Amino acid sequence: MISTSRNSWWPSPAAVLAYAVAILSVTTALVTGLLLDQFLQTMPYVSLFLCSIMFAAWFGGFGPSLLATGIAILLFTYYFVDPGGSFEVAAKDIPRVALFAVTALFVVSLSAAQRRNADSLRFARDQLQATVGELARVNKALEAENVQRRRVEAYLDEAQGLSRTGSFSWKVSSGNVFWSKEGYRMLGLDQTVKPSIDLLLQRVHQDDHRIVRHEIDRARRGEQDCDYELRWLMPNRPTKHLRVRAHRVQFESGEDEIVGALIDVSEAREAQESLHAAQTALAHAARVATLGEMSASIAHEVNQPLAGIVTNGEAGLRWLDRKEPDLGEVRSAMERIIRDGKRASQVVERLRALARKAPAQTTLLDLNEVISEGVALVQREIQSHRVALQIDLARDLPPVLAGRVELQQVVINLMMNGMQAMEAVTDRPRRLVVRSFVQAEEVLVSVRDSGIGIDPENMSRLFNAFFTTRANGMGMGLSIGRSLIESYGGRIWASNNDDAGTTFQFALPARVRAAS
């Protein structure tokens, strides 16, 4: 506040200096004039004053030169106009004074004009300089930004390379396609190749053409997002699994563009596949182990119809070889042979399905069928363990999405466990209840035994691998069962019954019957 108020009252130091110089230069001109007058008897006052005014004008501008002019006129009047030593002007000298004043004012105006020109030139120059400086700064910033941008681009390339992610864009209307460096590398294409959708389709695995075409059509129709996987054929190298994620963006130009990422998920896919293979192998091993445990039952199950077939055949021959062949008996023996043969082949087919080492194929399944088939396979075990089996299946069960053999394996495993848990039971009926029911959009299967139950402290470890309470148990059945059920999006658990024994249950998400 103080400084501003002072500024408003006082002229700036530069102005003070300019006025001081004006006064000084006029004074100097006077002194010089007086000295010259005295020693050289010459009288160059006018020129000297004009010079001083010009100097004041040059140095200080219009204001100081006016001041200098005023002072010079007064001094001129005082010293060099008769009568000397006073400000009075004799009539005869008025034109002289006026001429001086006019000349001085003319000089002032000239000097001021020149100075204005100089000022404006200087101003123009300063402005030019400022502009140039500004330009230089902008240039520098641009350069820095460029460096930064190149660095970012390098980082991006590096990051794309490290993360095996390429990027692409596709201008839907013009059909222009862009692939990033890593995109090219990933696709195994040279960067000189002009990217196009057709080129893309050439290298996509035959079986994935449908998916890719479908996704491209969707994008053309204006779909916002896409996310799918395709197999990409690499000449002389293993096929890659690429995941494509893209979305639609609209740039300022108003043109729609699909911008997306291309991710190499081969490793993850391979890991997943080998995990899956390991799981399948383990499940198979467990099935084979279960089959081993059931071998007595299986032998019986197979030999029973075989015994029927052989005996019927031999009986048939004997009926034929009689003195009077009894063709009626032969016919019925043959019919029984056919019936038993079919039955044997069914048994073998069921066993083969269980023993088959094929990757799990998930289909829509009726859990009731799975239970019935499982029960058929353990029928003999049930008898030999003297177990009363009760099957209580809900009608119109919605299907579940799972592997038939794998689910059968789980059901058989739970039933075998239940029977084994009842081996030591003699004081109460050995009851095994298998139920299926629907609850909260899930299909449930429960297997309830009246066995010895599970020690509460073992409850949490029940589904762990290698946990077993049996002397000859491997401890894999429930663990594999859990991983199978969980792989189908389900869960499995056990609880002790209020009275005796344990109930094992598993739940799988119910699916819609008519799946699209």
Partner 1 sequence: MSRSPQPPRTAKALPAVFVVDDDPSVREALSSLFRSVDLQVELFGSTAEFLQHKRPEGASCLVLDIRLPGVSGLDFQAQLLQANIRIPIIFMTGHGDIPMSVRAMKAGAVDFLAKPFRDQDMLDAVAAALQRDRQAREAENAAASLRANYELLSPREREVMALVTTGLMNKQVAGQLGLSEITVKIHRGHAMKKMNARSLADLVRMAESLGLHKPKAHQA
Rounded to a whole number of angstroms, the minimum distance from the CB of residue 292 to partner 1 is: 13
Which stretch in 159-167, 225-233, 332-340, 400-408 sits in contact with partner 1 by CB under 8 A? 332-340
Please say whether the beta carbons of 196 and 177 come within 8 A: yes
Could you tell me the smallest distance in angstroms from the CB atom of residue 407 to partner 1?
A: 27
Question: What is the phi-psi region of residue 451: left when phi exceeds 0, alpha when psi lies from -120 to 50, beta otherwise?
Answer: beta
Residue in 240, 336, 431, 482 binding partner 1, rule: CB under 8 A: 336
Q: Which is nearer to partner 1, 223 or 326 (CB)?
A: 326
- Chain positions 301 to 330 lying near partner 1, rule: CB under 8 A, are 301-312, 314-316, 318-319, 322, 326, 329
Q: Distances in Å between the alpha carbon of 160 and those of 156, 179, 183?
A: 6, 12, 8
CA 301 to chain centre: 56
Based on the shown chain and the rule CB under 8 A, indicate whether residue 296 belongs to the binding site for partner 1. yes
- A 10 A CB-CB count for 385 gives 17
For residues 345 to 384, the per-residue mask of contacts with partner 1, x marking binding by CB under 8 A and - elsewhere, is -----------------------------------x--xx
Nearest to partner 1 of 4, 472 (CB atom): 472
Binding mask 385-404 for partner 1 (x = CB under 8 A): -x------------------
Q: Measured from the CB atom, is 344 or 444 closer to partner 1?
A: 344
Please, what is the minimum distance in Å from the beta carbon of residue 306 to partner 1?
4
Amino acid type, 143: E
The DSSP element (H or E) to which 507 belongs, if any, is strand 502-509
Cβ distance to partner 1 smaller for residue 245 or 339: 339
Nearer to partner 1 by Cβ, of 306 and 465: the residue is: 306
Q: Is the peptide bond before 44 cis (omega within 30 degrees of 0)?
A: no
Nearer CB in complex with partner 1: 308/473: 308
* Candidate residues 21, 75, 258, 333; the one interacting with partner 1 per rule CB under 8 A: 333
Query: What is the number of helices (H) and of strands (E) in the chain?
Result: 15, 12
Q: In the chain, what is the straight-line distance between the N-terminal and C-terminal CA atoms, in Å?
A: 82
331 binds partner 1 (CB under 8 A): no
- Nearest-CA neighbor of 107 among 56, 33, 31? 56
Select 27 or 332, whichever has its Cβ closest to partner 1: 332
- Does residue 340 interact with partner 1 by CB under 8 A? yes
Three-state DSSP class for residue 85: coil
Pairing of strands 400-403, 362-365: antiparallel
The alpha-helical segments, DSSP class H, found in 76-93 are none
Q: Give bridge partners of residue 262 from the DSSP assignment.
A: 166, 244
Q: Does residue 269 belong to the site contacting partner 1 (CB under 8 A)?
A: no
**Shortest distance, CB of residue 300 to partner 1, whole angstroms?**
3
Q: How many residues bind partner 1 (CB under 8 A)?
A: 35
Minimum distance, C-beta of residue 393 to partner 1, in the bound complex (Å): 22
Please identify, using beta-carbon distances, which residue of 344 and 445 lies nearer to partner 1: 344
* Nearest distance from C-beta of residue 242 to partner 1, angstroms: 54
- From 506, 489, 292, 298, select the one nearest 410 (Cα to Cα): 506
- 3-state helix/strand/coil string of 228-280: EEEEEEECCEEEEEEEEEEEEEECCCCCEEEEEEEEECHHHHHHHHHHHHHHH
Q: How far is the CB of 401 from partner 1 (least distance, A)?
A: 37
Q: Does 459 bind partner 1 (CB under 8 A)?
A: no
**Shortest spacing between CB 315 and partner 1, in angstroms:** 4
Q: What contacts 155, CB < 8 A, 6 or more positions away?
A: none
Q: Minimum CB separation from partner 1 for residue 386, in Å? A: 7
Look at the block and give the residue holding tokens 């501003």.
4
Residues lying near partner 1 in the complex (CB under 8 A) are found at 295-297, 299-312, 314-316, 318-319, 322, 326, 329, 332-333, 336, 339-340, 343, 380, 383-384, 386
